[in-house]
Structures are given as C-alpha cells and as structure tokens.
Amino acid sequence: MVNRPPEFCPYCGEALSPVDPPTTHYCAACDDAVFYNPIPTTRLAVLDGESILLVKVDSPDADLWGTPGGMVEAGENPDEAGARELKEETTLTVNPDDLVLFDVRSFAKFGTTHKTVLAYAVDVTDVRGTPKADNEVAAARFWSASELARVEDRLLTSWPTAYKDVGWWVENARAALE
C-alpha cells in the first residue's frame, strides 16, 4: 500500500494507468491492479477530569499538539496499536481491553494522504505510569481546553475541524466512558 496517489507500480516500476482514480490503478506489465487506500490509524483520548493527554509533534517551526496514536501495523488490532503507540510516545501503559471506541472517520491529510481514524477513550485511572515524552514526540502532558486557549500552541493543522478542538475530544470521549 502507498500513501499518496501512485504514478508507478510499486512492484515493477512501470507507469500506472488510472482505472477508477484515486483508488484503483492498473499495471500493464504485472497485469494487476494497484490500490490506493486510506491508512488505518488510531488516536487515544486519555482523560483526567476535563483535561486530555496531548503529545507535542517534533517540529521546529510550530508548537503543534495531538492526541497520542499512530498507524496500525500488519497483524495488529486497532486497540492494540493504540496501546502500543501510547507506550512508545508517552511511556504510559494501558490494557487494550480498557479502550472504548468513540469515533471513526476518514479524511485526507494535506489533501493527499488518506487516513481512517479509530478514536478510543480511556480514563486516566485505567492507565499506568506518568506521561513522559519518549522517542517519537517532543513533549507529553495533560491540557484542558481553556489552558490551551491561553497559549500560542494549537492542535495539528492537518486534522479535520472537529479534531482541532480540544473540547470536542474531551466531550465525546467522556460521553463514551459514561
């Protein structure tokens, strides 16, 4: 699978013909189809009261934060991917069985990278450890919507409108846990 519209066959390198773009393309040399599909991704809303755990993207030009998460790997269930990404990014551990699915949607990041996001809620009481930025992120801490509104930092600009609103995350994740 590729994560931008394919022009060349990923197996033999020949130019592809569009069959049903943007999803289906054809390689004459391989006599086979090449598909361009959304990437399955998980996001975790770890709630502590009215605050939510956010991780800071390792970017030099902006103070951008997002909920922890990442791409589902081959052979992995989405909830297991969420637990793994949480540990990789923040050192926190959670049992995948304690994650409650509350939102699923597809969107195109920067218009080209299509993602299907499964968003899970979990209360901080079901999570073990203290958030600490690990290899993949620059910082990890809890924020309330009002705290984040008082600083220049913001949520990822490549996200759909709802996802750029801390209040949306807290409200919907909390509703799923009650």
Q: Does 11 bind Zn ion (CB under 5 A)?
A: yes
Using CA atoms, how far residue 167 sits from 55, 91, 132, 161, in Å, is 16, 25, 23, 12
CB atoms within 10 A of CB 125: 9
Q: Does 173 bind Zn ion (CB under 5 A)?
A: no
Q: Which stretch binds Zn ion (CB under 5 A): 14-22, 56-64, 87-95, 170-178?
A: 14-22
Out of 1, 4, 7, 12, name the contact with Zn ion by CB under 5 A.
12
Q: Least distance to Zn ion from the beta carbon of 23, Å?
A: 17
Q: Which stretch binds Zn ion (CB under 5 A): 27-35, 76-84, 94-102, 168-176?
A: 27-35
Q: Which stretch binds Zn ion (CB under 5 A): 8-16, 66-74, 139-147, 156-164?
A: 8-16
Contact 31, 69 (CB under 8 A): no
Q: Does 29 bind Zn ion (CB under 5 A)?
A: yes
**Minimum CB distance to Zn ion smaller for 17 or for 77:** 17
Q: Does 33 bind Zn ion (CB under 5 A)?
A: no
Q: Which stretch binds Zn ion (CB under 5 A): 10-18, 70-78, 126-134, 149-157?
A: 10-18
Q: Which residues 6+ apart lie within 8 Å of 85 measured at CB?
A: 42, 44, 68, 69, 70
State the Cα–Cα distance between residues 101 and 116, nearest whole angstrom: 13
State the Cα–Cα distance between residues 136 and 3, nearest whole angstrom: 20
Residue appearing with tokens 């509104």: 149
Tell me which amino acid residue 9 is: C
Classify 116 as helix, strand or coil: strand
Q: Least distance to Zn ion from the beta carbon of 21, Å?
A: 17
Out of 5, 22, 26, 30, name the contact with Zn ion by CB under 5 A.
30
DSSP state letter for 50:
T
The residues that touch Zn ion, with contacts defined as CB under 5 A, are 9, 11-12, 14, 27, 29-30
